[in-house]
Chain A
Amino acid sequence: MTSGGIRPGGIKRAVTAALFALTMFGGVALANPQPGQLNMTRGASTWSPEAYFLNNVALGVCVVIGILVFGAMFIAMFRFRKSRGAVAEKWSHNTTLEIVWTTIPVIILIVLAYLATGGLRTFADTTGSEMTVKVTGYQWKWRYDYVDYKGKAIEKVGFMSKLDKESDETRQLDSGLDPKNVQVDGYNTYLINVDKPLVVPVGTKIRFVITAGDVIHSWWVPALGWKMDAIPGIVNSAWTNIIEPGVYRGQCAELCGQDHGFMPIVVKAVPKAEFDKWLADQEAEANKPAQPAAPAAASTAAAPATAQATDAPVSQGHQG
């Protein structure tokens, strides 16, 4: 496991055991939103369990404190009501009690801060990546450029990724189409499917460099465990290392104009061998001599063509 910020053992194991019941509800490693889902996804990358784990710990702490505080309140409301003949007492101060209920929260916060700091440190560490993908947000589509892989620069592999045609037609006001019918393999993909997904290998530390061309967007795939703002003029970086092959869906998470709700993200994680073949195909496609003019726009122009070619198998797959 690449993420070593929270060392296995001690606190983590104890808390995990204590929270077993909590993590059970809705917390299975689902890659995509499920109807009636109650908790965050555990995710599918090496880092995503950090966010999930912290969420569960913090939720558990809050539930316990809530039961104690609200319990005390309800007891007070029941016992000390005038209608039961309660007579108000006179005290309004208790130093010992006040010291106790200031100190205990501080201790709880220190534990939470310790756990969170570990998660932050591993997330901030983008060193040792084997692959770089540049993500650029535009109103209202994403552009992916493959920068390097296994220490080798990649030329001309990049494409636009936007809302798939079926969702786009269905989403129009008064389209008369039922969003429930937008499905891939029985899984509803309304507004969370694209014409051409980002394809990446599993078991590889991938560095994302994220920026934007017009306004601020935010690149978010819940299964990876994080989102990162895409800001014009600024290049942010983040990383992921996906464990299981699958199709992971997300959406733009920063208000970016009228079509903000129609800017999905689909990451297709495939085994390394399959990815190598896909990348070779893409490079071959890009280097075809069929494009005499406009070399700068070559990769962009090639996108629609390649989209047709690779779309079919990709949109079929989904994480079961």
Chain B
Amino acid sequence: MAHAATHDHHHDDHHGAPKNFFVRWCMSTNHKDIGTLYLVFSLLMFFIGGSFAMVIRAELFKPGLQLVQPYFFNEMTTMHALVMIFGAVMPAFVGLGNWMIPLMIGAPDMALPRMNNLSFWILPFAFALLLSTLFLPGGGPAGGWTMYPPLSLQGDSVAYLVFAVHLMGISSIMGAINIIATILNMRAPGMDLLKMPVFVWSWLITAFLLIAVMPVLAGAVTMLLTDKYFGTSFFNAAGGGDPVLFQHIFWFFGHPEVYIMILPAFGLVSEIIPTFARKPIFGYKAMVFAIASIAFLSFIVWAHHMFAVGLPLGGEIFFMYATMLIAVPTGVKVFNWVSTMWGGSMTFETPMLFAIAFVILFTIGGFSGLMLALAPADFQYHDTYFVVAHFHYVLVTGAIFAIIAGTYYWLPKWTGHMYSEFWGKMHFWNSVVWVNVLFFPQHFLGLAGMPRRIPDYNVAFANFNMISSIGGFLFGASQLIFVGVIVHCVFFSKKKAMDRVWEGAKGLEWTLPSPAPYHTFEVPPVIHDEELAHGHVED
């Protein structure tokens, strides 16, 4: 069936792709090229955001201020978060979705290809604007990525920050509309919703989250803008406003946002583990239902970021219970991944290694999440390094490890060449060791009483900070291996990839040649159930 769909691949793998570099890459409407643009952009942002983190870890290497002034330190923490969240993790998932969703559901392209181009090209401008603030008089935003007023309103870069956030939001919403339209309208005949790969499901649900909450963020930052420049008092107590109002609105966006950054990762891991276990995913329907439940719950737990603002008792109790409830569907997912491995026939190529590390380390991040959900204990954890450790376990060893796993998994399909398995494994082992050296001691720092976002600390915190910084530098350096592996695979690798790159790989994308031709599925493929990633779905 692949041959029917891609009749021209024998002549030229890139048949139909414009030869002109500018036309091909700047004016593209092709989902694969736009996916590549997203992925390259997010890799660039990953290193820019990472270099900010290196500044932070270098300053925190030992007590006393050695390198930067406290204000610049705050700019670094703020920009690190904004760049990593909106520039690295989200665009990486959009890139993977753009590349793979049409291939996985048998669609020729995204439903709205021109909008796809626009939603990507907004991003470089948004980040150019945001990063330019570092070079402007007054400096960049330094009030934290959460932008709590009144502090964030003291900055001189509010207008730049707000405009950049608006652009990122517009880009995300357009991307989400495109993904929903593609999944709901462009599936090949026979690709029922409950036959879709889990990754496609996870993106469908994530896209709805994006459309629901990005406008909320837009509203919150617009109110910041009018408070700063137009004399309104939404968040100004002296004018009858309420600073806590901002936090409620922000976290109504912000909590679903953290699930926007992890649900597609669940999808990725649910593709990779069955492939290398050579066994269909355990409990397909439970997986889909769990993702949907987590997405629903994410809307009603926002105030667990605000246990210390002085919520009424009833509020604390409600948000605590709702938050704890998320552990149930998340636990189900973890149990299902373990059951998928159980009774399989496993091999441990690089994508599988990253996926397994994801399951273990993300679960550790989930454990600290459960601890944080308990409001009386959170009175101690809140705004300490315990929280920093928690969200880096779920975002770095969660989201980013899954993105890396997905990249290794599909890289041969994208490029037509195998990457170097040796260097892939080098990248893995270095990452997994140093990321733990980096973040695990931060649990102890938080429990011992070190607040987050401080540029300097008491000498009692010195030893763990030094260990953490060493882990940070080496984890950062390990990612250079990743770039090396990708560059080698794209430009230099001689080893041709087969169509079905991995022995146990199932799903429509593996019925195509490698590299995937520029145009695919112009004739819809015929779906055979045994070709699907999760086998037959019964009851």
Q: Say whether A65 faces chain B, with CB atoms less than 8 Å apart.
A: yes
Contact with A along B51-87 (1 / 0, CB 8 A): 0000000000001111011110010000000000000
Neighbouring B residues of A50 by C-beta, 8 Å:
376
Q: How far, in Å, is B507 (CB) from chain A's closest CB?
A: 15
Q: Say whether B374 faces chain A, with CB atoms less than 8 Å apart.
A: yes
Q: Say whether A261 faces chain B, with CB atoms less than 8 Å apart.
A: yes
Q: Say whether B458 faces chain A, with CB atoms less than 8 Å apart.
A: yes
Is there an interface contact between B237 and A233, defined as CB atoms closer than 8 Å?
Answer: yes
Q: Which residue of A lies closest to B151 (CB)?
A: A215
Neighbouring A residues of B327 by C-beta, 8 Å:
105, 109
Is there an interface contact between A37 and B457, defined as CB atoms closer than 8 Å?
Answer: no
Neighbouring B residues of A259 by C-beta, 8 Å:
70
Q: Which of B190-198, B359-367, B481-489 contacts A (4 or more CB under 8 A)?
A: B359-367
Q: Say whether B143 faces chain A, with CB atoms less than 8 Å apart.
A: yes
* Residues A255 and B538 in contact in the complex (CB < 8 Å), given A51-B377, A171-B456, A218-B308: no
Is there an interface contact between B243 and A234, defined as CB atoms closer than 8 Å?
Answer: yes
Is there an interface contact between A258 and B71, defined as CB atoms closer than 8 Å?
Answer: yes
Q: Say whether B383 faces chain A, with CB atoms less than 8 Å apart.
A: yes
* Residues A54 and B278 in contact in the complex (CB < 8 Å), given A191-B457, A227-B380: no
Q: Provide the bound-state CA to CA distance between A174 and B64, in Å.
A: 9
Is there an interface contact between A222 and B380, defined as CB atoms closer than 8 Å?
Answer: yes
Is there an interface contact between A258 and B70, defined as CB atoms closer than 8 Å?
Answer: yes
Q: Provide the bound-state CA to CA distance between A80 and B148, in Å.
A: 50
Q: How far, in Å, is B29 (CB) from chain A's closest CB?
A: 38
Q: Provide the bound-state CA to CA distance between A1 and B450, in Å.
A: 29
Q: Considering residues B321, B456, B462, which has the most beta carbons from chain A within 10 angstroms of its beta carbon?
A: B456
Is there an interface contact between A80 and B344, defined as CB atoms closer than 8 Å?
Answer: yes
Q: How far, in Å, is B398 (CB) from chain A's closest CB?
A: 16
Q: Say whether A21 faces chain B, with CB atoms less than 8 Å apart.
A: no
Q: Considering residues B310, B368, B448, which has the most beta carbons from chain A within 10 angstroms of its beta carbon?
A: B448
Task: Please classify how large the interface on chain B is, using the bins under 10, 10 to 19, 20 to 34, 35 or more.
Answer: 35 or more
Is there an interface contact between A86 and B345, defined as CB atoms closer than 8 Å?
Answer: yes
Q: Say whether A246 faces chain B, with CB atoms less than 8 Å apart.
A: no
Within 8 A of A (CB), among B256-295: 277-284, 286
* Residues A82 and B278 in contact in the complex (CB < 8 Å), given A58-B371, A105-B327, A227-B382: yes
Is there an interface contact between B457 and A35, defined as CB atoms closer than 8 Å?
Answer: no
Is there an interface contact between A70 and B345, defined as CB atoms closer than 8 Å?
Answer: no
Within 8 A of A (CB), among B218-263: 237-238, 241-244
Q: Provide the bound-state CA to CA distance between A98 and B458, in Å.
A: 48
Q: How far, in Å, is A174 (CB) from chain B's closest CB?
A: 8
Is there an interface contact between A77 and B346, defined as CB atoms closer than 8 Å?
Answer: yes
Q: Which of B3-11, B199-207, B335-343, B509-517 contacts A (4 or more CB under 8 A)?
A: B335-343
Which of the residues B69, B313, B348, B459 comes within 8 Å of A35, measured between beta carbons?
B459
Is there an interface contact between A80 and B376, defined as CB atoms closer than 8 Å?
Answer: no
Which of the residues B148, B244, B313, B363 comes within 8 Å of A66, measured between beta carbons?
B363
* Residues A80 and B343 in contact in the complex (CB < 8 Å), given A98-B283, A222-B449: yes
Neighbouring B residues of A234 by C-beta, 8 Å:
237, 242-244, 310
Neighbouring B residues of A80 by C-beta, 8 Å:
277, 341-346
Q: Say whether B534 faces chain A, with CB atoms less than 8 Å apart.
A: yes
Q: Which residue of A lies closest to B306 (CB)?
A: A229
Which of the residues B148, B339, B364 comes within 8 Å of A255, measured between beta carbons?
B148
Within 8 A of B (CB), among A227-285: 227-229, 231-234, 236-237, 250-262
Q: Say whether A36 faces chain B, with CB atoms less than 8 Å apart.
A: yes
Q: Provide the bound-state CA to CA distance between A121 and B376, in Å.
A: 10
Is there an interface contact between B342 and A254, defined as CB atoms closer than 8 Å?
Answer: no
Which DSSP category, helix, strand, loop or mixed, fits chain A's interface? mixed
Q: Say whether B136 faces chain A, with CB atoms less than 8 Å apart.
A: no
Which of the residues A41, A61, A92, A261 comes within 8 Å of B280, measured between beta carbons?
A92
Q: Provide the bound-state CA to CA distance between A36 and B444, in Å.
A: 8
Neighbouring B residues of A69 by C-beta, 8 Å:
334-335, 338, 363
Is there an interface contact between B377 and A55, defined as CB atoms closer than 8 Å?
Answer: yes
Q: Provide the bound-state CA to CA distance between A121 and B375, in Å.
A: 11
Q: Say whether B439 faces chain A, with CB atoms less than 8 Å apart.
A: no
* Residues A229 and B309 in contact in the complex (CB < 8 Å), given A92-B281, A190-B458: yes
Q: Say whether A2 faces chain B, with CB atoms less than 8 Å apart.
A: no
Is there an interface contact between A215 and B154, defined as CB atoms closer than 8 Å?
Answer: yes
Q: Say whether A93 faces chain B, with CB atoms less than 8 Å apart.
A: yes
Within 8 A of B (CB), among A84-114: 86-94, 97-98, 101-102, 105-106, 109, 112-113
Q: Provide the bound-state CA to CA distance between A254 and B25, in Å.
A: 44
Q: Say whether A179 faces chain B, with CB atoms less than 8 Å apart.
A: yes
Q: Provide the bound-state CA to CA distance between A181 and B237, in Å.
A: 42
Is there an interface contact between B282 and A33, defined as CB atoms closer than 8 Å?
Answer: no
Neighbouring A residues of B348 by C-beta, 8 Å:
77, 81
Within 8 A of A (CB), among B361-396: 363-364, 367-368, 370-371, 374-377, 379-380, 382-384
Within 8 A of B (CB), among A168-202: 170-175, 177-180, 188-192
Q: Which residue of A lies closest to B371 (CB)?
A: A58
Within 8 A of A (CB), among B442-461: 444, 447-461
A-B contact pairs, 23 of them (CB 8 A): A34-B448, A38-B447, A50-B376, A61-B370, A65-B367, A69-B338, A73-B356, A80-B342, A88-B277, A92-B279, A94-B339, A112-B374, A172-B65, A220-B451, A222-B449, A229-B310, A231-B243, A232-B243, A253-B451, A254-B383, A256-B151, A258-B69, A261-B456
Give 9 nearest A-B pairs by CB, closest first: A233-B237, A261-B454, A119-B376, A236-B310, A62-B367, A226-B379, A37-B448, A89-B343, A33-B460
Q: Which residues of chain A have a CB within 8 Å of any CB of chain B?
A: 32-41, 50-52, 54-55, 58-59, 61-62, 65-66, 69-70, 72-73, 76-77, 80-83, 86-94, 97-98, 101-102, 105-106, 109, 112-113, 115-117, 119-121, 123-124, 170-175, 177-180, 188-192, 210, 214-216, 218, 220, 222, 225-229, 231-234, 236-237, 250-262
